[in-house]
Amino acid sequence: MNGSQAVEARPGNASGVDGPVVWWSSLGVLCIALVAPVLAAQVPPLTDYPNHLARCYVLAFGSRDPVLSQMFSAHWQIIPNMAIDLLLPALMHVFSPLTAGRIVLALCLLTPTTGAIALSYAYFQRRSFWQLTAGFAAFNVLFLMGFMNFALAVGIAMWGAAAWVQYRDTTPAMAIASGVVIGIAVFFFHLMGFCFYALLVGGYEFFAILDGGLTQPGGIVNVLKRALLAAIPFVIPFGLYVFSPLGKTSSAPVWASHSRKVWSVLIPFLDYSTTFDVLLMMPVIGFLLLCVWQGKSRIARPGALCAAILLFAYAILPTSLKGVWWVDSRMMVMFGFVLFATFLPSGLSRRSETIAATVLAILFLAKITFITGVWVHSQREVRDVRQVIAPIEPGSRVLDVDVEKSDNPAWFATMPVGRRIPHLNPTYWHLASFALLDKRAFWPTIFATDVQQPIRVREPYLKIVGLGTGPPDYQFLGPHPMTDEDKGRYPFLDDWDRNFDYVLLMNADGAGDLRNFLPAKLELLDRQGFAALFRIKK
């Protein structure tokens, strides 16, 4: 018996919503719907995305640019977090940076969604309308935070696991050979994706070994043989990790509060509105639970084991480990995709299938419509930033700051939906990246300071680089007191008026009259809605 099967598999339906014509047409519509927001918005409100664009722009053109080459140098090493650093610079030589970025964003949505669908088909050997609901997890919170390497790695892991499940027992040599390639690729894409791939393959092999019978003649030998063959794809990545800088990195873990742990269970399904998303997902999860309750479902045992391990890992893991953030939340994103791949409605009447498929399709299109609207509206912020930075000269040093919640809490609570991910980060934090993308200027919060980045900052800019976090509160430029934590996070604020040429203020529409803000040090050059630019008086 195949290790993935909960019950005997049956062939795909020849008609109905699971029929090949309807199913493949629905898959095509799903893919078009997933990329529709990407096509509608030139720069989507994804927190880290502009920063990634700027870093990849440096990798693509920095060595030959007389200005950027004075700021940065490439620093390639064994980094298990570099999917877009391998893809985006190459695409930028063919397409404009923003077009190249949108191509990779589309891959970040399509790869994990279709990977979950492929894994489900490998588990059950049939098509189902339910498999297409994996699209509900595509716009998860971590994708909105711009974790592109992670998204691509999760997708490749599921595609690789699907290939392993499909071919391991029929053509083992091909399965193992492809597993070696996928294992190395997903390792370089993102370490968490590699662990996910290992978990999916390990779950399949665990049940295949159990089904083979440990007490049968030669059972122990077969177990050892199967385990050793399954380990082959992971030998090289394990060795790479041992010799990578990340393998030698150590830092104190950071733990999430109990309230955030509880809230973060919803991370696979949330985007910009908690209320909207909860109301949207209630029928989806309710349908799943109803099918289980009525015994009209099938569950793939390897996927169920994987889901259980991910939930347990989420409960016990910290938020930060070895310098990697949102470790526990990544477990929930992977769980979301596994949930759609592992469960399958079974035994429903054709009428029930049609009604369920129709309702789920309407809910998904409502989600896509909402996200598209948020993304289109957010282009105002991008335009404001790109307009106010027009006076900046190449090679300038631009200090990016923010109007934070403490400055105007009433306004912050009512600012546009696309500027924040509920309970987490603002989405506009790295829009100052356009100082580099448009003007080839330096800003201090570029991702370039840890072992997971393939670029380094040169002197004299090195002394004003930050930690890649969000921008500081603009009030810190004045006599506003700073905590020791703030001082450690923003070391570039020391002598800021001597070390920088311009100050770029974001969320400027939440501030008061800026013409009299630090008039002895700053000259307001332009203010356009979301953004304002000051020249520092020397």
Q: What is the pLDDT of residues 371-412, one digit of tens each?
A: 999 999 999 999 999 999 999 999 999 999 999 866 666 666
Which pLDDT does position 10 carry in this prediction?
40
Residue 292 in this model has a pLDDT that exceeds 70? yes
Average pLDDT, the chain: 92
Computed on alpha carbons and rounded to an integer, the radius of gyration of the chain in Å comes to 25
Mean pLDDT of 108-129: 97
Residue 521 tokens read as 């040090």
In this model, does residue 352 exceed pLDDT 80?
yes
Considering Cα of 294, then 297, then 302, then 307, what sign does the dihedral take? negative
pLDDT score for 215 = 61
pLDDT at 470: 87
pLDDT score of 408: 66
Alpha-carbon distance values, 296 to 8, 179, 288, 349, 354 (Å): 14, 34, 10, 10, 15
Phi, psi dihedrals of residue 470, rounded to the nearest 5°: -70, 165
Structure token digits, residue 37: 């927001």
pLDDT per residue as tens digits for the range 436-477 = 999 999 999 999 987 789 999 999 999 999 877 889 999 999
Instruction: Give 386-418 as a DSSP string.
Output: HHHTTTPPTT-BEEEEE--TTT-HHHHHHS-GG
Domain regions of the chain by residue span? 114-348, 378-536
3 pLDDT higher than 70: no
- Interhelix angle 83-92/148-167, rounded to 10 degrees, is 110
- What integer pLDDT is reported at residue 214 of this predicted model? 67
Instruction: State percent of the chain over pLDDT 90.
Output: 78
3-state secondary structure of 115: helix
> Residues for the chain: how many in total?
538
The whole model's pTM is what? 0.94
What's the mean pLDDT in 77-84? 94
Taking a C-beta distance cutoff of 8 angstroms, is the pair 4, 118 a contact?
no
Which amino acid is residue 387, in one-letter code? Answer: Q
